[in-house]
Amino acid sequence: MTINTTAPASPAIRIRGAGKVFSAAGGDVTALTGIDLDIAEGAFVCLLGPSGCGKSTLLRLIGDLDQPTSGTVEVHGRSAAEARQARDYGMVFQQPGLMDWRSVRNNIELPLQVQGVNRTERRRIAGEMLELVRLEDFGDHRPAQLSGGMQQRAAIARALSFAPRLLLMDEPLSALDEMNREYMQGELRRIWQSTSTTVVSVTHSIPEAVFLSTEVVIMSPLPGRIAERIPVDLPEQRTAETRTSDHFYEIETRVRKALHGVLEDAIRSAA
């Protein structure tokens, strides 16, 4: 028997022939079809596409919040269900979903408490997480006393509290105003760089996808599928200047053209 030592490490996410059909009273809805996707460990991938193209559904399949009706989804070489059991996932949604009667610190500690981590250890980790998201002075505040951006940072801290290998985010910045969003994009990059977490994030903002990602995955609707994958070879350190650089503009243009193609196809096939 020969052992192939040059085989690449298995990707964080491996999806093969995945499809999702929702059965509804008015007829079946094919939300996703023929999804083949590998995402490498440590990547920051944004799923981008028009509303209804299946971005949230794909993210939910990866996170085992829903199951494919065909094909397979593997996370770290296991089924998505096993990965969830092993607490591989942290999740962040558009609404921070913090509990208002608990302090910010106690919200961050909650997943650890559920896992039975002792109080001293919980305090220590929550302290680290508060520092990571720059909320160290707000641990004893109630969520309602925080701005939208700060609440979302607390939700990210909560999601990262048990050091998941994979962070899944569904439009995490969509509820924020433009200035706050750009600031938070920088924060997401910084947090991703200071952890070794693989990130898959859904967005419908082109500049956001380009700024954040190591790769943009463009999806098309009717039925939802992967239309194009665009690598983002911008420098590791991304700043306000990155957004005004020629190369940023080039990648943004490429993404925009791909999306226009997707929309034209959708309009043609619906006509």
Q: Contact positions toward ligand ADP, by CB under 6 A?
A: 22, 24, 29, 31, 49, 51-57, 224
Other Cβ atoms within 10 Å of 108 Cβ, number: 29
Residues near 249 by Cβ (< 8 Å), separated by ≥ 6?
none
Shortest Cβ 10–ligand ADP spacing (Å): 26
Instruction: Please choose, from the candidates 169, 141, 140, 137, the residue with its C-alpha nearest in 3D space to the C-alpha of residue 155.
Output: 169
Which of ligand ADP, Mg ion, none lies near 172, with the C-beta cut-off 5 to 8 A by kind? none
Which of Mg ion, ligand ADP, none lies near 34, with the C-beta cut-off 5 to 8 A by kind? none
Cβ atoms of 187 and 137 within 8 Å: the answer is no
Which of ligand ADP, Mg ion, none lies near 139, with the C-beta cut-off 5 to 8 A by kind? none
Which of Mg ion, ligand ADP, none lies near 24, with the C-beta cut-off 5 to 8 A by kind? ligand ADP
Shortest Cβ 53–ligand ADP spacing (Å): 4
Which of ligand ADP, Mg ion, none lies near 224, with the C-beta cut-off 5 to 8 A by kind? ligand ADP
Binding site for Mg ion (CB under 5 A): 56
The nearer residue to ligand ADP, 15 or 126, going by C-beta atoms, is: 15
Structure tokens at 133: 């998201």
Dist CA 113 CA 176 (whole Å): 29
Residue 209 has φ and ψ, to the nearest 5°, of -60, -45
Shortest Cβ 60–ligand ADP spacing (Å): 7
Structure tokens at 268: 């043609």
The nearer residue to ligand ADP, 112 or 218, going by C-beta atoms, is: 218
Residue 128 has φ and ψ, to the nearest 5°, of -60, -45
The nearer residue to ligand ADP, 43 or 266, going by C-beta atoms, is: 266
Instruction: Please choose, from the candidates 171, 129, 86, 148, the residue with its C-alpha nearest in 3D space to the C-alpha of residue 139.
Output: 129
The nearer residue to Mg ion, 58 or 80, going by C-beta atoms, is: 58
The nearer residue to ligand ADP, 129 or 227, going by C-beta atoms, is: 227
Dist CA 127 CA 141 (whole Å): 14
